[in-house]
Amino acid sequence: MEYTERDVEGLIGQAVQKGAILAVLFFDSYGVEKPAVQNALVDVTQKVTKEPGVIYCKGVVREPIEKNGEFSTYSEVKVLAESFNALVNIVLKYAPSSIEVEKPGKINLSLEEAHATLLDISQTIQNYTSFIIEKTLTGEEKRKYNEELKRKSEFIEGLKAGKKG
Protein backbone atom coordinates (compact mmCIF):
# COMPACT_ATOMS: atom_id res chain seq x y z
CA MET A 1 0.00 0.00 0.00
CA GLU A 2 1.29 3.44 -0.90
CA TYR A 3 0.81 6.38 1.41
CA THR A 4 0.32 9.91 0.16
CA GLU A 5 1.97 12.90 1.81
CA ARG A 6 -1.45 13.71 3.28
CA ASP A 7 -1.69 10.22 4.78
CA VAL A 8 1.74 10.65 6.36
CA GLU A 9 0.77 14.05 7.79
CA GLY A 10 -2.34 12.46 9.31
CA LEU A 11 -0.30 9.70 10.91
CA ILE A 12 2.18 12.25 12.23
CA GLY A 13 -0.69 14.24 13.75
CA GLN A 14 -1.99 11.14 15.51
CA ALA A 15 1.45 10.28 16.86
CA VAL A 16 2.00 13.85 18.13
CA GLN A 17 -1.30 13.66 20.01
CA LYS A 18 0.13 10.61 21.80
CA GLY A 19 3.35 12.40 22.81
CA ALA A 20 5.57 12.13 19.72
CA ILE A 21 7.78 15.06 18.68
CA LEU A 22 8.26 16.15 15.07
CA ALA A 23 11.52 17.96 14.40
CA VAL A 24 13.81 18.86 11.53
CA LEU A 25 17.49 18.26 12.17
CA PHE A 26 20.03 20.04 10.00
CA PHE A 27 23.43 18.50 9.31
CA ASP A 28 26.27 19.97 7.29
CA SER A 29 29.15 18.36 5.47
CA TYR A 30 32.40 19.64 3.93
CA GLY A 31 35.13 18.06 1.86
CA VAL A 32 37.11 17.94 -1.36
CA GLU A 33 35.04 15.21 -3.03
CA LYS A 34 31.45 16.02 -3.96
CA PRO A 35 30.14 12.43 -3.67
CA ALA A 36 31.77 11.95 -0.26
CA VAL A 37 30.18 15.16 1.03
CA GLN A 38 26.73 14.00 -0.09
CA ASN A 39 27.18 10.39 1.01
CA ALA A 40 28.19 11.42 4.53
CA LEU A 41 24.79 13.06 4.96
CA VAL A 42 22.91 10.15 3.40
CA ASP A 43 24.72 7.88 5.87
CA VAL A 44 23.68 10.04 8.84
CA THR A 45 20.04 9.94 7.72
CA GLN A 46 20.13 6.16 7.38
CA LYS A 47 21.60 5.83 10.87
CA VAL A 48 19.04 8.19 12.44
CA THR A 49 16.25 6.13 10.84
CA LYS A 50 17.40 3.08 12.82
CA GLU A 51 17.68 4.80 16.20
CA PRO A 52 15.44 3.63 19.06
CA GLY A 53 12.30 5.74 19.32
CA VAL A 54 12.26 6.91 15.68
CA ILE A 55 8.80 6.45 14.19
CA TYR A 56 9.45 8.22 10.88
CA CYS A 57 12.52 9.75 9.25
CA LYS A 58 12.99 11.41 5.88
CA GLY A 59 16.08 13.28 4.75
CA VAL A 60 16.84 15.61 1.88
CA VAL A 61 20.46 16.37 0.96
CA ARG A 62 20.94 19.69 -0.83
CA GLU A 63 23.18 19.99 -3.88
CA PRO A 64 26.76 20.75 -2.79
CA ILE A 65 28.30 24.12 -3.53
CA GLU A 66 31.91 24.23 -4.73
CA LYS A 67 34.23 26.99 -3.59
CA ASN A 68 38.02 26.98 -3.95
CA GLY A 69 38.10 23.26 -4.67
CA GLU A 70 36.02 22.31 -1.61
CA PHE A 71 32.40 21.27 -1.45
CA SER A 72 29.84 22.03 1.21
CA THR A 73 26.22 21.09 1.64
CA TYR A 74 23.60 20.36 4.26
CA SER A 75 20.69 18.03 4.82
CA GLU A 76 17.29 18.48 6.37
CA VAL A 77 16.23 15.37 8.25
CA LYS A 78 12.61 15.29 9.37
CA VAL A 79 12.28 13.01 12.40
CA LEU A 80 9.19 11.87 14.25
CA ALA A 81 10.45 10.65 17.62
CA GLU A 82 8.17 8.79 19.99
CA SER A 83 9.15 11.06 22.88
CA PHE A 84 11.17 14.10 23.83
CA ASN A 85 13.72 11.79 25.44
CA ALA A 86 14.16 9.82 22.19
CA LEU A 87 14.75 13.10 20.32
CA VAL A 88 17.27 14.29 22.92
CA ASN A 89 19.21 11.03 22.57
CA ILE A 90 19.36 11.45 18.78
CA VAL A 91 20.58 15.03 19.18
CA LEU A 92 23.23 13.93 21.69
CA LYS A 93 24.45 11.14 19.42
CA TYR A 94 24.49 12.97 16.08
CA ALA A 95 24.99 16.64 17.08
CA PRO A 96 23.03 18.37 14.31
CA SER A 97 24.09 21.91 13.46
CA SER A 98 20.52 23.13 14.05
CA ILE A 99 17.17 21.79 15.20
CA GLU A 100 13.62 23.00 14.62
CA VAL A 101 10.79 21.39 16.57
CA GLU A 102 7.71 21.55 14.35
CA LYS A 103 5.11 19.77 16.50
CA PRO A 104 3.68 19.99 19.10
CA GLY A 105 3.54 23.70 19.89
CA LYS A 106 4.27 22.98 23.54
CA ILE A 107 6.15 20.10 25.16
CA ASN A 108 5.02 18.81 28.55
CA LEU A 109 7.19 16.34 30.42
CA SER A 110 6.30 14.23 33.40
CA LEU A 111 8.87 14.09 36.19
CA GLU A 112 9.75 10.57 35.07
CA GLU A 113 10.43 11.79 31.50
CA ALA A 114 12.44 14.76 32.77
CA HIS A 115 14.54 12.49 35.00
CA ALA A 116 15.16 10.00 32.18
CA THR A 117 16.17 12.78 29.80
CA LEU A 118 18.49 14.45 32.30
CA LEU A 119 20.10 11.11 33.19
CA ASP A 120 20.68 10.35 29.50
CA ILE A 121 22.31 13.77 29.03
CA SER A 122 24.47 13.25 32.11
CA GLN A 123 25.55 9.77 31.02
CA THR A 124 26.46 10.98 27.53
CA ILE A 125 28.57 13.81 28.94
CA GLN A 126 30.29 11.39 31.32
CA ASN A 127 31.03 9.02 28.42
CA TYR A 128 32.54 11.83 26.33
CA THR A 129 34.57 13.09 29.28
CA SER A 130 35.94 9.61 29.98
CA PHE A 131 36.84 9.16 26.34
CA ILE A 132 38.65 12.50 26.19
CA ILE A 133 40.52 11.79 29.43
CA GLU A 134 41.61 8.35 28.24
CA LYS A 135 42.87 9.73 24.94
CA THR A 136 44.55 12.95 26.08
CA LEU A 137 45.86 12.75 29.65
CA THR A 138 49.17 11.24 30.71
CA GLY A 139 49.32 8.70 33.52
CA GLU A 140 50.17 11.35 36.14
CA GLU A 141 47.44 13.68 34.88
CA LYS A 142 44.90 10.82 35.06
CA ARG A 143 45.98 10.04 38.64
CA LYS A 144 45.51 13.70 39.68
CA TYR A 145 42.17 13.87 37.87
CA ASN A 146 40.94 10.71 39.64
CA GLU A 147 42.05 12.11 43.02
CA GLU A 148 40.09 15.28 42.32
CA LEU A 149 37.02 13.24 41.36
CA LYS A 150 37.31 11.28 44.61
CA ARG A 151 37.49 14.52 46.65
CA LYS A 152 34.43 15.90 44.85
CA SER A 153 32.54 12.66 45.41
CA GLU A 154 33.38 12.67 49.13
CA PHE A 155 32.31 16.32 49.36
CA ILE A 156 28.97 15.58 47.68
CA GLU A 157 28.39 12.56 49.92
CA GLY A 158 29.09 14.79 52.92
CA LEU A 159 26.53 17.30 51.70
CA LYS A 160 23.97 14.54 51.25
CA ALA A 161 24.66 13.20 54.75
CA GLY A 162 24.24 16.71 56.16
CA LYS A 163 20.81 17.08 54.51
CA LYS A 164 19.67 13.75 55.96
CA GLY A 165 20.75 14.64 59.47
> Mean pLDDT lowest for which of 9-18, 54-63, 134-143?
134-143
pLDDT-based confidence at residue 72 (cuts at 50, 70, 90): very high
pLDDT-based confidence at residue 83 (cuts at 50, 70, 90): very high
Asked whether residue 28 falls in the same domain as residue 56, the answer is yes
DSSP run (H or E) holding 139? helix 139-164
The per-residue pLDDT for 160 is: 67
Domain count, the chain: 2
Asked whether residue 24 falls in the same domain as residue 50, the answer is yes
Range of the domain at 24: 5-108
Q: Is residue 59 part of a domain?
A: yes
Of the candidates 24, 40, 17, which has an alpha carbon nearest to the alpha carbon of residue 106? 17
Which region, left, alpha or beta, applies to residue 20 given φ > 0 means left and ψ of -120 to 50 means alpha?
Answer: beta
> Mean pLDDT lowest for which of 42-46, 87-91, 121-125?
121-125
CATH number of the domain enclosing 56: 3.30.70
Q: Among 60, 87, 108, which residue terminates a domain? A: 108
pLDDT digit string, tens, across residues 27-71: 999 999 999 999 999 999 999 999 999 999 999 999 999 999 999
Q: CA angle at residue 123 from 137 to 110, to 5 degrees?
A: 160
Asked whether residue 99 falls in the same domain as residue 125, the answer is no
Q: Is residue 93 part of a domain?
A: yes
Asked whether residue 131 falls in the same domain as residue 82, the answer is no
Report how far apart, in Å, the C-alpha atoms of 8 and of each of 29, 83, 120, 123, 130 are: 28, 18, 30, 34, 42
Asked whether residue 93 falls in the same domain as residue 125, the answer is no
* Radius of gyration for the chain, computed over Cα atoms and rounded to the nearest angstrom: 21
Contact at 8 Å (CB) between 24 and 78?
A: yes
pLDDT-based confidence at residue 145 (cuts at 50, 70, 90): confident
What are 80's strand-pairing partners?
Answer: 22, 56
Q: Is residue 99 part of a domain?
A: yes
Asked whether residue 93 falls in the same domain as residue 147, the answer is no
Asked whether residue 87 falls in the same domain as residue 133, the answer is no
Q: Is residue 114 part of a domain?
A: no
Asked whether residue 140 falls in the same domain as residue 78, the answer is no
| Mean pLDDT along residues 89-115 | 91
> Mean pLDDT lowest for which of 13-27, 65-79, 90-104, 149-163?
149-163
Q: Is residue 113 part of a domain?
A: no
- Rounded to an integer, what distance in angstroms lies between the CA atom of residue 95 and that of residue 27? 8
User: 123 pLDDT exceeds 90?
Assistant: no
| Mean pLDDT along residues 74-92 | 95
Asked whether residue 37 falls in the same domain as residue 86, the answer is yes
